[in-house]
Amino acid sequence: MDKSRVIDLPELRNRVHVFRDRAHAGGVLAGMLGKYRKTASVVLAVPAGGVAVGAVLAKELSLSLEVAVVSKITFSWNSEAGYGAVAFDGTVLLNEDLLSRYHLGDEEIEAGTRKTEEKVRRRMEAFRGDRRLPDFKGPVILVDDGLASEFTLRVAILALRKAGAAEIVLAVPTAHSESIQTIPEEVEVVYCPNLRRGLSFAVADAYEEWRDLDEGEVSKILQDFKKP
């Protein structure tokens, strides 16, 4: 991706523990995305952690908040690492390089994909019910709590394009400098306050307070956002 379309905060480069928590990160992003305040833009947050960031961003910019459910297809022996991803509309993207490296069989790939598709369906029901995505009349601001590997966001981008998003803005509080460059060219701009280099990278290192959010907590964030 053209580096000129990646907007960061130079004072936060290559630093750790720059955000108190996800809410603080959402506020920092809101300060960077002020041009979208009270526009036809819509915030699409990736659960689980992206919802905690996106809710603050949407609230501070007076934008609507929606959920973009995507999930990585994980290895049977490592639930943190993935070889593909599934999006809310059923789009599946596989990492062919990893598949060839680990020599996964078709049956294992199909089983992993089915399991992930069921997880996505369950989360769609929990977070969206039977509500359809809105018509995108302005930019879509796609939000997650960080980017270590771009694969889940890539499948989200593909699904949003299919859903009619003409302009996609990616907003993530932290990312590896190399991973951010692999985001597809069709993303118009990336906002990422905390870019970091190095051989090892963990999204959690950008935060003083970090923990996984369960589905109940995500549902509560979404309910609280609707309150006046």
Q: Per the domain annotation, does 220 fall within a domain?
A: yes
- Give the pLDDT score at 165: 93
* Sign, CA torsion 147/3/23/66: negative
| Residues 198, 96 share a domain | no
Q: Is residue 117 part of a domain?
A: yes
Per-residue pLDDT, 10: 97
106 and 44 assigned to the same domain: no
**Packing angle, helices 106-128 and 215-226, rounded to 10:** 30
What pLDDT, on a 0 to 100 scale, did the predictor assign at position 40? 94
User: What pLDDT does residue 83 have?
Assistant: 85
Residue 154 located in a structural domain = yes
Is residue 131, in this structure, part of any structural domain at all?
Answer: no
Could you tell me which residues are beta bridge partners of residue 169?
141, 189
13 and 101 share one domain: no
What's the CATH number where 150 sits? 3.40.50.2020
Q: Is-contact 136 165, C-beta < 8 A?
A: yes
Residue pLDDT tens, the chain, 228 long: 455 689 999 999 999 999 999 999 999 999 999 999 999 999 999 999 999 999 999 999 999 999 999 998 988 777 667 888 999 999 999 988 877 787 878 888 899 999 999 999 999 999 988 788 888 989 999 999 998 767 788 999 999 999 999 999 999 999 998 888 877 677 899 999 999 998 888 999 999 999 999 999 999 999 999 877
Which residues form the domain of 87? Answer: 73-126
